[in-house]
Amino acid sequence: MLRIPNEIYHAILNHAEACAPEEACGLLAADAAGSLRMVYCLTNVQHSTVAYTIDPEEHYKAMRHAEANGWHLAGAFHSHPDAEPYPSATDRALAMEPDWVYVITGRARMMRAYRLDGGSVVEVPLEA
């Protein structure tokens, strides 16, 4: 179960809407117990409607901020502006962190979360 605090949940959805029709993206930080503490709404340097790459400098700054607060990066999020919130083949192939949770937003402000490891997809129930 992934519990997403209300402010993080809405920040993800609002970032997705602000970036549309391009894919939005960002990172999630958690404390040692695994509770989400921060969302980092970042730049998709691809400026694409079907793919994303997080700006490397922003990624680094988010990591440093999380570490400075005693947190760790625990996941990523991105949007599928015109599709269902399910990992694409590209999402599965590029998922490099098997311990991370990957949150995807889709049409009609739908949000789902997954663990992606070696191409496998396991849905993580969300509680917002």
Q: Hey, which residues are catalytic here?
A: 23
The Cα 46–Cα 33 span in angstroms is 33
Please state, in angstroms and rounded to a whole number, the distance separating the CA atoms of residues 43 and 23.
10
In whole angstroms, what is the distance from residue 95 CA to residue 102 CA?
Answer: 9
Structure tokens that stand for 40 in this block: 């980092």
Q: Tell how far CA 21 is from the center of its chain.
A: 17
Tokens of 1: 């179960």
Pairing of strands 101-105, 120-124: unpaired
Structure tokens at 113: 């979360």
